[in-house]
Amino acid sequence: MNPQLRTEKLQQIVVTAEQMRNIEDRIFSAGIPVAALMEKVAGKISQRLQTLFSEQQINRYHKIGILVGPGHNGGDALVIARELYFLGYYVIIYSPFSKRKELTEAHANYAVSLGIPVCSNIEELQTCDVLIDGLFGFGLERFIIGEIATIINTINTWNKFVVSIDLPSGIHTDTGEILGTAIRADFTLCLGLWKQAFLQEVGLDYIGIAELIDFDIPLTDITAILGESPILNRITPSIAIHSLPLPRLANSHKYKNGHLLIIAGSQQYTGAAILAGLGARASGIGMLSIAVPNSIKPLLSSALPEALIIGCPETENGAILKLSEEIDLRRYQTIACGPGLTPEAHPILDRVLTANCPIILDADALNILAKLNPFFTLSSRQSPTIITPHFGEFKRLFPELIELEKNKITLAKQAAELTGAIIVLKGARTCIATPNQVWINPDSTPALGRGGSGDVLTGLIGGLLPPIILAEKPVESIVNTAVWWHSQAGILAARERTELGVDAYTLTQYLIPALIPFIKPRS
C-alpha cells in the first residue's frame, strides 16, 4: 500500500485494549519476537524524541530521566534510555519496582552494564530537564495507590517536560478514566494504533499533545481483528474534505445546491437564529429560508440579506406560535429546528417531525423532545434525523442510558441503535454515532465552549446536507465533515485571537478561512 494511504488509514483506526492485545498476538504468532518488536518501537520513539527535543530546544547537555515500569512499557523505556545514552544525552533511570518482566529485566541489566546511572530515590529526578514516562502502558485497569501514587503525584508537582510512552501512566485505555492518579504529560506518543482514551474527554488534561508512532503493523492483522469497516473511527482531514460537495458542477445553480429551512429564534434569543443562518451561509447552500417570529424578522433580514426570512405568528412571550402558512415542508431538502426556539414552541416540533426529509434537532427542539418519548418519536421517522445534544441535553433525552453507562462513546452508539437517529454528542471530543458506526472528531479547542457555538454548527450541518440529499449520498459522512470543519474554524480563530477571543459570531467569520488550506483549487 502507498505509504500516504497507509498513514491515512492508521490515523482513522481506533482500538480497545483487548483489540490491541489481539492484534499484537497475531503479530507474535506470525513469528516476530517480542524483543525485536520492542527494539523497533523504541527505535522509532527515540527518533521522534530527537526531533521533539530539538523543537523544544532540549540539547544533549540536558538531563533525561527515564521512569521504568515492570512490564513491556518499561522495556520500551529502557531501550529508549540506551539509545539516548548512545546519542550523547545524559540519562538517569528510575524504576520503583522490585519485579519486572523477563525482557524488561534484561534491558535493565544491560543498561547497568553500560554505566547508565540508576537512582533509587524519586527526588534524584528533580534535577532532570525531561522525564520519559514508561511506568504503565495500555491495558492498565487497577487503581494506582500507595508508593506509586505518591511518586506520580510528586512528579506532577515538578512542572517538568514529560513525554509518555503509549499512554500517560494511570489512564484507563478505553475510558480515559484516571485510575486514582496519573502522569500529566506534555506529549504522549501513542504506539501502533490510537486507543479509545485519546478520544474520551476524561483524560485530555493528562495526555497533552498526542502523536501516533507507526511501527508497521500489517493492515491484514488489523482487518482480521476489526473487520473491513471498524465500528470506531477518527475523523481525518482527508475524510472530511472528501465528503464536501466540491468542486461543483460547471452548470450548477441555486436549486441544484439545495434548499434549507431553519426554524429558530425568539424575541429572547434572536442571536441564535442569526448564528444558525451564518453557519448555513458558509456551507454554500443554494437557497436558505429562515422561519422566525414576526417581531424579529427585520433583524434577520438585515443580518442575512440573501436569505428568505419568513415571519411567523408568535406567542405573547415572543416565541413562534405556529409556522407561517406559506411554509410547505415538502419544498426543502433539509430542515433544522431548535436554536433559540424556547420550550413554548412545542407545536412546531410536532410538525417538523412529520417532514419527509432529513431534519436536524438542536437546543430547544431537544428540550421539547425530552418531554416526549424520544426513543419512539425518533425511531418512528422514515427520513434521517440528526440530533445535536451536549451532554446535559443528552442526559435529559436518555436518562435510562445514563444510569447504566458512563462511556460517552458507548452512550452515543446505544442511543443511535435505539432511535435510528444520527447522534452528534457535542463536547471536547464530539462523537457522531449511527446504529452501525461511531466517528470521533479528534481535534478541537476550548474556545468553542461558548454560547452560540452549537447554533453555528446546526446551521453548518443543515447547509451541507441538501446537495448531499439531492446527490443521494450518505448523510452521516457530511455530518462528520461539518463537525470537523466547525472545530477547525475554532482552532484557527483561537490561534489568531487566543481562546478568549472566539465568540460565536467571530467563529462564523473563520469557517471559510479554516477550509481554504485543505481545498485544492480547480485546475
As annotated, the binding site for K(+) includes 73, 133, 169
DSSP letter string over 11-25?
HHBEE-HHHHHHHHH
- 235 three-class SS: coil
Helix axes 102-114, 72-86, angle to 10 degrees: 20
* Binding site listing for (6S)-NADPHX: 72-76, 137-143, 166, 272, 340, 390, 455
Is the sign of the CA dihedral 87, 207, 169, 226 positive or negative? negative
Helix axes 34-55, 72-86, angle to 10 degrees: 50
* Binding site listing for AMP: 426-430, 454
Strand 422-425 relative to strand 431-433: parallel, antiparallel, unpaired?
A: antiparallel
Element (H, E) at 6: helix 3-12
Distance CA(422)–CA(409), nearest Å, equals 13
DSSP letter string over 395-459?
HHH-HHHHHH---HHHHHHHHHHHH-SEEEE-STT-EEE-SS-EEE-----GGG-STTHHHHHHH
Helix axes 453-470, 475-497, angle to 10 degrees: 140
* Binding site listing: 72-76, 133, 137-143, 166, 169, 272, 340, 390, 426-430, 454-455
What is the C-alpha end-to-end distance of the chain, expressed in Å? 27
Number of CB atoms found within 10 A of residue 47's CB: 12
Compute the C-alpha angle 237/243/249, nearest 5°: 125
